[in-house]
Amino acid sequence: MKNIPQGFEPAFFRADRRARRWDVFVTVLLAALLLVPIPFVQFRSWPERRLILERPVLPWSGFRLCYHPLDGGPAVEELYRFQGSGRLAPQSLSTVSPLALESSELPYLQWQKQPEIGLHEMHRTGALLEITVRWQPVLAYPLKMLKNAWQAHPLGSHGGGANR
C-alpha cells in the first residue's frame, strides 16, 4: 500500500467508505423511527387503576365489549373504532370514560381479533372500565413490557435465587 500515489484510491476503498456511511445513515434512521410517538390505548379498572390491557392504536384498530344487561335482555356487543389521531371514532364519542359495565354475567373485552379477556375482578367488585389514549415513543412499549415481565418474575429483582 505504500506504493499508491497520493490522491489515488482504489475502487474497493471508495465502495467500503460508501457502505459504512450507508450503515450509519440506516442506523440513525431506525433509531429515530423508534423515538416517534404513536398513540397507545390503556384499559384500566377504576378506581383501582389496575392495568387490564395496553395496545398500540392504528387507524384500523378497534375493540368490543360484550356483556349481559341487568334487565335480563339479550347479550350486548358494543364495537368501538379509533381514528388515525388515536381518538375513538365519532359514533362512540357519546360514551363517557370510565364505562360502567353493569352486567348480570361476566363481561368480556376483545381487542381486534385476539381472544376475549374476561373482566373477572371488575365484575366481582363492580369497578368501572377506564379507557385512556396516551402518546408515547414506539421504543417505550417493548421496554415497558420487559420491565413488567421482569418485575412479575418469581425471582424478581432478587437475582438468581442464591438463598434457595
Give 67-119 pLDDT, tens digit per residue: 888 777 788 888 888 887 778 876 555 555 567 777 778 888 999 888 888 88
φ, ψ of residue 71 to 5 degrees: the values are -75, 0
Q: Which helix (H) or strand (E) holds 37?
A: strand 37-46
Residue 27 has pLDDT above 90, yes or no: yes
Cα–Cα distance between 67 and 101 in angstroms, integer?
Answer: 7
Residue 5 has pLDDT above 90, yes or no: no
Q: Which helix (H) or strand (E) holds 132?
A: strand 128-137
Decide if 58 contacts 138 (C-beta within 8 A). no
More confident residue, 11 or 28: 28
Look up residue 63 and give its amino acid. Answer: F
- Cis-peptide into 98, omega within 30 deg: yes
pLDDT tens by residue, 115-157: 888 888 787 887 788 888 889 998 888 888 888 788 777 765 5
